[in-house]
Structure 1
Amino acid sequence: MARESFEIGPVRVRAGRTQSLSLPITRLVTGAEVDLPVRVVHGREDGPTVWINAAIHGDEAVGVEVVRQVLADLDARVLRGTLIAVPVVNVLGFMTGDRYLPDRRDLNRSFPGSARGSLAGRIAHLLMTEVVSKCEVGIDLHTGSDRRTNLPQVRADLEDPRTRELAAAFGAPVMLHARLRDGSLRSAAREQGATVLLYEGGEAWRMDPWAIEAGVRGVRRVLAALGMTEPLADEPPPRSAVSWRSGWVRARGTGVLHLEAGLGERVEKGQRLGGLFDSFGKRVRLVHADRDGIVVGRTEAPLVNSGDAVIHIAEVEDGAEDSVG
């Protein structure tokens, strides 16, 4: 017997079909409608229902390209289960390259939202009711913020066996245990019983090819691990370094920053990571690692002030590679 059609918003998607639709969000002062773009790939065969989303923060472009490439490789006629893709959640922010919504609210602190709340709350509520509530697993795609770049990594509740299994299947260089934050999509989805992975990779408002590639391959591996697609034929899943703690090294002075440590580099406590210089090139302070671990994030700002976050180091379990970049 054929699978039943998949219902979302005003649309019913037949098994073996892919369909795009728009879910209304709000109306601009010009009278133009602002909609949430959604694409549903409803496989012919039974399987899990999974969502992927990007650009909850409007300046995060990497995930949008990850979604595009993943969708380009999927065929509803052979897919087992259903994939719901939302390439741009913060539509208004994405159109202007702004991380936040016009009212300066952070959408990823506004879940589960409310149908009669703020604009952020309404978008959150729409995503929760039309997408997340229908799914068992979700992958939330992000990048670094505020002139920071991140090593490809999965942040998830590694104490949950199912979540850790899928995080390992993703195969990012690092999987980092991350607590749930109130108001985040990951927290709200977990309350509804979904397993959620948060992918971080690259820099805001850039199309970093290495972060896109890692995201695309990771999503494909998760779909294969769920039995929705065939496994990738050209490689075994890479082993991710596991981290339970991380922290930012902060500048202990103000100056022009020159970093010597790159993403994925294994560093030791006390190791020199770079230095701060004045405008004439005189060294003001050195930057040193405050722990052993792997560099999973770094600032790209040329000028830093005392107290600014400079390098993000994740402590890793024994057996991690010297470099995972």
Structure 2
Amino acid sequence: MPRASFGIGTVRIRAGSMREVGLPITRLVTGADVSLPVRVVHGRQDGPTVWINAAIHGDEVVGVEVVRRVLARLSPKTFNGTLIAVPIVNVLGFMAGERYLPDRRDLNRSFPGSARGSLAGRIAHLMMTEVVAKCEVGIDMHTGADRRTNLPQIRADLDDPRTRKLAEAFGAPVMYHAKLRDGSLRSAARDRGATVLLYEGGEAWRFDEWAIEAGVLGVRRVLAALGMIDAPEGEPPQESLVCRQSGWVRAPGTGILQLDAALGQRVETGDRLGGLSDSFGKRVRLIRADRPGIVIGRTQAPLVNRGDALVHIGEVPGDTPGMTAGEGDFVINA
């Protein structure tokens, strides 16, 4: 018996086909309509229903390219299950070149939203009812915030067996056991019973190829682990490091930053990470690691003030003392 069609918005997609749908969000003062762009891959064979999304923050473009490349390699004729892809959730922020919505609300603190709420609440509600509610697994893609870059990493509830299995399948250099944040898509979707992975990689407004490629491979590995596609070709990924605690090394003073720490670098307490100088190049302060672990994020800002976050170090339980950068690590000179 043929597989049933899939409904989203006001349309239905027949099995073995792919279709783009625009879910209405709002109308601009010019009279133009704004919609949530969605592409549905409805496979010919039965399988899970999964969503992938990017650009909940309008400046996070890495995930947009990840979604594009993942979709480009899928065929609904050979696909098992259904994939709902939302490359740009914060459409208005993305078009304006802004992280947040026009009213300065953070969309990722507005879930599950409300059909009669603010613009952020209505977008969140639309995402929850038309996408999340139809799915059992989701991958939410992000990058570092303004002038910060992140090592490719999965943030998830690693104490949940199914979530951890899919995080391991993704194969990012680091898996971080991250607490849920009220108002986030991950928290709201988890309350609805979905298994959610949050991918972090790269910098805002940058097409960092290493972060894009890690994201594409990771998403394809998860789809393969769910039986939706064949496993990607090539060498299997190295086992992900597990982090449960982390902290930022902050600027000990104000100055021009020369940062030597690379993403993926292993550090020990007291290791030199860089330094601060004045406008004539005179060294004013050194920056040192305050804990052992792996560099999972760093600032890209050249000028910093006392207390600014500089290097994000993830602690790795049972790590080998004295291990240096490059010994089997994913080291990126961002």
Shared fold (TM-score greater than 0.5)? yes
Number of residues paired by the alignment? 325
Equivalent position of 1:104 in the other structure: 104
Is residue 2:143 matched to residue 1:143?
yes
CA deviation vs aligned residue, 1:226-260 (integer Å, no higher than 9, x gap): 00000112122331111111111000100000011
8 Å contact kept, 1:110–1:124: yes
Unaligned runs of 5+ in 1: none
Is residue 2:19 matched to residue 1:19?
yes
SS of the equivalent of 1:167 reads: helix
Equivalent position of 2:36 in the other structure: 36
CA deviation vs aligned residue, 1:273-294 (integer Å, no higher than 9, x gap): 0001010111111111010000
Q: How does 1:82-97 map to 2 (within 5 A)?
A: 82-97=82-97
Equivalent position of 2:117 in the other structure: 117
**Could you say what the CA RMSD is over the residues aligned between the two structures, in angstroms?**
0.9
- Aligned partners of 1:35, 1:155: CA distance in 2, in Å? 29
- Aligned partners of 1:6, 1:16: CA distance in 2, in Å? 11
Deviation at 1:319, TM superposition (A): 5.3
Question: Which residue type is aligned with residue 136 of structure 2?
Answer: E
TM-score by length of 2: 0.96
Equivalent position of 1:8 in the other structure: 8
Equivalent position of 2:61 in the other structure: 61
8 Å contact kept, 1:158–1:177: yes
8 Å contact kept, 1:241–1:317: no
TM-score by length of 1: 0.99
SS of the equivalent of 1:279 reads: coil
Is residue 2:165 matched to residue 1:165?
yes
SS of the equivalent of 1:163 reads: helix
- Aligned partners of 2:47, 2:276: CA distance in 1, in Å? 54
CA deviation vs aligned residue, 1:25-78 (integer Å, no higher than 9, x gap): 000000000000000000011100000000000000000000000000000011
Equivalent position of 1:207 in the other structure: 207
Deviation at 1:133, TM superposition (A): 0.2
- Aligned partners of 2:234, 2:205: CA distance in 1, in Å? 31
- Aligned partners of 1:237, 1:296: CA distance in 2, in Å? 18
CA deviation vs aligned residue, 1:198-226 (integer Å, no higher than 9, x gap): 00000001101010000000000000000
- Aligned partners of 1:237, 1:224: CA distance in 2, in Å? 14
Is residue 2:320 matched to residue 1:324?
no
SS of the equivalent of 2:287 reads: strand
Question: Which residue type is aligned with residue 170 of structure 1?
Answer: F
Q: Percent identity?
A: 75
Seen in structure 2, the aligned counterparts of structure 1 residues 13 and 31 have a Cα distance that, compared at 3 Å, is same
CA deviation vs aligned residue, 1:158-206 (integer Å, no higher than 9, x gap): 1111111100100000010100000000000000000000000000011
Deviation at 1:317, TM superposition (A): 2.8
Equivalent position of 1:193 in the other structure: 193
State which drifts further: 5-14 or 228-237.
228-237
Question: Which residue type is aligned with residue 252 of structure 1?
Answer: P
Question: Which residue type is aligned with residue 232 of structure 1?
Answer: P
8 Å contact kept, 1:53–1:85: yes
8 Å contact kept, 1:145–1:204: yes
- Aligned partners of 1:220, 1:42: CA distance in 2, in Å? 16
Equivalent position of 1:232 in the other structure: 232
4+ long deviations beyond 6 Å: none
Unaligned runs of 5+ in 2: none
Q: How does 1:236-251 map to 2 (within 5 A)?
A: 236-251=236-251
